[in-house]
Amino acid sequence: MNEKTHKEAVAAICEQLGRKRISERIGVGKTAVGNAVSDGLFPARWWREIKEMCDEQGLECPVDLFNFISIDKAEASSRKSEAA
């Protein structure tokens, strides 16, 4: 998914769930939710609550809309063999 598509998807989820409902459920201000829309990514720590809210509404909740740290598998494999 490209950046524009991420922004559109995050904005659509926020619109469908409601920014106020999200902010209340997560325990953050509406500005934080607006920042997620602007960034096109939800903070990773919001995943569980947003996922539950989406499930309740029958909405898709792609994990790539969250700012998880990705692991470079080649680098991880290299480190593993160096440690052995």
Q: How many domains does the chain have?
A: 1
Q: What distance in Å separates the CA atoms of residue 78 and residue 65, rounded to the nearest whole number?
A: 28
d(CA 13, CA 21): 12
Domain holding 45, by residue range, is 3-83
Kindly report the three-state secondary structure assignment for every residue of 43-73.
CHHHHHHHHHHHHHHCCCCCHHHECCCCCCH
Residue 12: helix, strand or coil by DSSP?
helix
Q: What is the pLDDT of residues 30-51, one digit of tens each?
A: 999 999 999 999 999 999 999 9
Mean pLDDT over 14-42 rounds to 97
pTM listed for this prediction:
0.79
